[in-house]
Structures are given as structure tokens and as C-alpha cells.
Amino acid sequence: MPKLIIHGGTPLKGTVKLCGAKNASYKLMIASLLCPHETRLLNFSRIADVDLVKKIIQSLGAKIYSAGERSLFINPKNLTSSTVPQDLGLASRASSMFIAPLLARTKQAIVPLPGGDKIGKRPLNRHFDGLKALGAKIEFKNKSLHASCQQLIGTTYKFPKNSHTGTETLIMAATLAQGKTIIQNAAQEPEVDDLINLLNQMGAQITRKPNRIIEIRGVKHLKPVIYQVMPDRNEAVSYAIAAYITQGDIIIENAKPDHLTAFLKKLKSAGGQFEIDGYGIRFFYTQPLKAVNITTQPHPGFMTDWQALWSVLATQSQGTSKIIEAVFTSRFQFAKDLKTMGADITFFNPQPKNPEEFYNFNLKDDNPKNQHGMKITGPTPLKGISVKVTDIRAGATLALAGLAAKDKTTLTGIEHIDRGYEDFSGRLLQLGAKIKRIDNKA
């Protein structure tokens, strides 16, 4: 079982260049199946989630290969299957997104329910209701989703709650549909815009309108293009926080300030120092940060993927920080391990005036035992522990905590980190971290 061994207490200093965004890359791969000719995608991260989607695409009969550094050439001309294999689909949270291109290309799709991180129920009904509005028939048989259609027809569909991947799924489905589709209450994340940019370069007609509206005029076919994946903003936040918790100084090349607006705003409130220039953003420690309050929200709000990372920063900040998770039902699994490391954390349940409007998850999916708020009082010294990580961001969070801790921290289950970060330990090592990865080949 591979593991990370971390000895904390060393300030990190240097430069790290962002890889292609995990939450954009595999979706662009899936979208490329809409065109029956070879599309070339650049700036990929070498991460497990990309490899998994690559295997699914190959299983469908499409040709996919790398020809040069960080590139993938995808040619679905000979796409022969409409079925995502059970084992691959269960391992990937992206499996349901294959429905859109498969319906457009083959008029049918069979996919298992998606896997991925265990962070609470993902409201896939939002995706399926939108596909049904476009004319798809969806049934559940033998633990898989069976979708079919004669022709997808443009429609107007409003998401009852904001949905990042739901918006992307409907965009892909509507691109080759007949007529005009209007998506209301659409997601605004940069990764969604990256998908829109790719498809528009391929010949789609997709337009963002004010008030979270996206308009898609269906086209008959798409053309192949060369396109570069956007940089990973979650990586940017991870390395930025590494700079502050180790009292270091890190330059993040390719970091885009407009992708990080909510993070930078909170950082400024906390007293964190950073400089923006053409190269990217420099994050550097000058003094202890102050506690701030955070509530996760869909973009342009504070991203749910960032709250666990910020929690480590809160343990080293002065005062009591309040962190509220309003996007997923259960994303505080890492907190018990932070407490074991010495963090001063207490849980609470917020009392919003309108819970239905305040929370982006379906209230009926919530477990009454879940608590959606944490109070973290700092600064507190952290101590090393041995622990198994449970998801991507929790893994990165505990690795960051290990960088700030005394003694040795040992992490297993690091395959979760590999799903979202390219060579996380190796890049931290280059910044000066005392970190070692051990891969047992037995």
C-alpha cells in the first residue's frame, strides 16, 4: 500500500507551475466524443481520473493516445459501443456525463451509477430531469442507467438548485440537439466556461446570458480543434495555503486571479500577502493570519473544494474561524483527523432563515446527524499522526497539515490524492518539504 511520510516544520519556497484542471480535463475529453473526427487537447495533468476516463473512452471504441507532452488526441470516428463498462463506471464520478455524447452519437447509452469521492449524495436527478426535458428516455435497470432517444429536441430547463456537472451535461446534450435550448439557473464555474469555449471553437453556438442563463442553438455537426485545458484552481489554492502554513514563499505560475476571486478576497481579509503579475500569483507569509468566516457556495462563491484546505490555515490563524459547508451534505470527514492532530474544532449546525435557499444540496438527502458548520480556534500546534485518507481534498488537507505539524505524519490511501494531483509529494519536495512517497510493489 503506497504511503506518504511527512516531517513538518520546514518553510516552503520556490515555484510551482499549475497543471490542467482536473474538473475540466476529463469533461473536455468526454465532450470531444461529440465530434466524429480527431480533437487534440493540451495541458493535461498526469492524474488517475484522466487515466480512468481515457480507459472508458477506449472501451467505447474510440481511439485515444498521447503524442507529446501533456497531450491527448481523441478520435471517436469508430465509436462502436454505447455501454460504459460497469467496473470503470463505478470508479468514476464522470460516468453519467457520457450519456450526453452517447445519445447524440448513437441514440442510446448504458452507464452505471457514478463513483468518486464519498462526500454526500450527488443530486443526479437534476441531470436526468434535464435530459428528459430534451427528449431522452431514462430507466434504471440492473444497477445501470439506460438512456435512449430518437432525437434530442431543444427545450427550456431550469435547475431547481445549481448544478456544476448537470449544467455541463445539458450543454453537451443540447449542442447537437434540434432547435434552441435555454438552461436557467446554470452553473458559472470557470470549468463550465472552459467546456463552452471548447465546444464553440468546434462550431457550437453557446452563449452565456445574464442571470445564470445559457442559450444553446443546436448545430448539425462539430469540427475538430486543438484546445488547451485551463489551469487547476484547486491546485493553486493547495500550494497557496502550503506557503502560509509553513511560513514560506511560493510563486504559482499560470494561476488566474479571476478563477480565484472568492479565495483571494478571504485571504485579503485574513491578512495574507500575495502579489499578482503576468507570471501568475506569489503567496508569501509575513505575519500570522486572522480568523475569518467562510460559507461554501457555487461559483462565484467560495468553492466547496477549498473549505477543507482552508481548515488547516484556520488552525494556524489567530482567533475563531467559522466554516459552513452549504454545497454537499457531508464534507467534514477530515475534521476528526485534524482534531487528532491537535486542532481545536467544534461542530455546529447553522440556523439559516431559509434552509431550502441557503443549502445547495437537496434537504431530503441530508442525514439529521450531519453537522454543516465548524468553529476552528487558533493558532494551535499540530502533531503528526498516521491516518488513511478518504477523498482527494481530505488527502491534500492532511498532507498540508503534516507540513505544519511536529514529528512524523504518515498517510495511506493516497490513491485518492493521485486522482486529483499530479506528483503532489514530488512537487512539494521540490519546494523544500521533507516528504517521501513509498510505493510498495508487492
Which pLDDT tens digit goes with each residue over 126-169? 888 999 999 999 998 888 899 999 999 999 999 999 999 999 99
Q: Is residue 234 predicted with pLDDT exceeding 60?
A: yes
Provide the percentage of residues in the chain whose pLDDT is more than 90: 86
- The mean per-residue pLDDT over the stretch 15-31 comes to 95
Q: Is residue 120 predicted with pLDDT exceeding 70?
A: no
Q: Is residue 365 predicted with pLDDT exceeding 90?
A: no
Which residues of 163-263 form beta strands (DSSP E)?
A: 180-184, 205-209, 213-217, 226-228, 249-253
**pLDDT tens digits for range 288-305:** 999 999 999 999 999 999
Distance CA 210, CA 292 (A): 31
Identify the pLDDT of residue 114. Answer: 67
243 falls in which pLDDT band (50, 70, 90)? very high
198 falls in which pLDDT band (50, 70, 90)? very high
Provide the percentage of residues in the chain whose pLDDT is more than 70: 97
210 falls in which pLDDT band (50, 70, 90)? very high
Candidates 3.20.20.220, 3.40.50.1100, 3.65.10.10, 3.40.50.2300; CATH matching 3-19+232-438: 3.65.10.10
**pLDDT tens digits for range 320-359:** 999 999 999 988 989 999 999 999 999 999 999 999 999 9
In this structure, which topology does domain 22-228 adopt according to CATH? UDP-n-acetylglucosamine1-carboxyvinyl-transferase; Chain (3.65.10)
Distance CA 434, CA 54 (A): 33
Identify the pLDDT of residue 143. Answer: 81
Residue 437 contacts residue 413 (beta carbons within 8 Å): no
Residue 183 contacts residue 159 (beta carbons within 8 Å): yes
- The mean per-residue pLDDT over the stretch 112-128 comes to 63
Q: Is residue 97 predicted with pLDDT exceeding 70?
A: yes
First and final CA of the chain: distance in angstroms?
Answer: 9
123 falls in which pLDDT band (50, 70, 90)? low
Identify the pLDDT of residue 415. Answer: 92
Distance CA 32, CA 240 (A): 32
Identify the pLDDT of residue 409. Answer: 97
Phi, psi of 391 (to 5 degrees): -155, 175
Q: Is residue 385 predicted with pLDDT exceeding 90?
A: yes
- The mean per-residue pLDDT over the stretch 78-107 comes to 91
Distance CA 358, CA 324 (A): 11
**pLDDT tens digits for range 394-433:** 899 999 999 999 899 999 999 999 998 999 999 999 999 9
Identify the pLDDT of residue 122. Answer: 53
Residue 129 contacts residue 200 (beta carbons within 8 Å): no
Can you give the residue ranges of every domain in the chain?
A: 3-19+232-438, 22-228
Identify the pLDDT of residue 322. Answer: 98
- Name the 3-class secondary structure at 261: helix
Identify the pLDDT of residue 118. Answer: 43
Instruction: Please give the mean pLDDT across all residues of the chain.
Output: 94
- The mean per-residue pLDDT over the stretch 97-110 comes to 94
CB atoms within 10 A of CB 155: 18
